[in-house]
Amino acid sequence: MNLVKIFLTALLIDNVVLMRFLALCSYVGMTADVGQSVGMGFAVTFVTVLATAATYPIYHLILVPLHIEFLQILVFIIVIAALVQLVEFYLKKNVPGLYTAMGIYLPLITTNCAILAVTFDNITKGYDFAEAVVYSVGVAVGYLISMVLLAGVRERTRTSPIPKFLQGTPILFAATSLLAVAFMGFAGLIK
């Protein structure tokens, strides 16, 4: 039950993009069409879960016993960067089909703040390993949902009459504002 609660909170109530303002760069940059946003969403989901699985044990088995928790930022970013690189090599060699679908998104993911934020959250919220993994899946799928939603809206805005002062990027954020209002409706979902 607790796991379901963590998942739903991460997915809808605290949606990573619309409620917590994370990963906005890729949210603006990678939503030109729905296909692209789905690709990016899945790539992020994959890496987020892997990053959680890698950084959580590193923090509790290496940093805490050695009392070097202050190196957390440095260690986590290096682990994630290395992880992304390894995933890229692995996919290129063994799963070329997936690599061509996901490959172009992978280098961008190192600097995706949602992933780093999830790994910090796992520690500060005091989750155990199972909770941390469920939380990271929830956040990442929440990211996927908001990406696809915006990509859908963007495809429509191309043919709609938009007030002149909102043309271009401003309309994206105005639309995002409305999406965020809609997501606020989920706030009462879990007591």
Partner 1 sequence: MKRYLKIFTAGLISDNPLLMLMIGLCSALAVTNNMANGIGMGLAMTFVLLCSEVIISMFRKLIPNSIRIPIFIIVIAAFTTIVDLSMKAWTPALSEAMGVFIPLIVVNCIIMGRVEAFSSKEGVFACVIDSIGMGLGYTWVLLGIAAIRELLGDGKILGFQIMPDSYQPILFFTLPPGGFLVFALFISMNIWLKKLIDNAGARAGKSGKEAVA
Q: Which residues bind partner 1 (CB under 8 A)?
A: 18-25, 28-29, 70-74, 77-78, 81, 110-113, 116-117, 120-121, 124, 165-166, 168-174, 176-178, 180-181, 184
- Smallest gap from Cβ 129 to partner 1, in A, equals 20
Nearer to partner 1, 73 or 130 (CB): 73
CB 80, CB 110: distance < 8 Å: yes
Question: Which residues does 37 contact at the CB level (< 8 Å), separation at least 6?
Answer: 30, 31, 147, 148, 150, 151
Nearer to partner 1, 23 or 137 (CB): 23
In whole angstroms, how close is the CB of 29 to partner 1 at the nearest point? 7
What is d(CA 169, CA 183) in angstroms, rounded to the nearest whole number? 21
CB of 116 vs partner 1, minimal distance in Å: 5
Residue 149: how many CA atoms within 13 Å on its side-chain side?
Answer: 18
Nearer to partner 1, 3 or 178 (CB): 178
Q: How many residues does the chain have?
A: 191
**Residue 127 Cβ vs partner 1, minimum distance, rounded to whole Å:** 14
Look up residue 126 and give its two tokens: 């005091």
Nearer to partner 1, 57 or 170 (CB): 170
Alpha helix locations (H) across the chain? Answer: 2-8, 24-29, 34-58, 72-94, 96-102, 106-109, 113-124, 129-157, 169-184
Give least dist CB 118 to partner 1, A.
Answer: 10
- In this complex, which beta carbon is closest to partner 1, that of residue 98 or of residue 113? 113
CA distance 147 to 43: 12
Closest among 10, 6, 32, 40 to 112, alpha carbons compared: 40
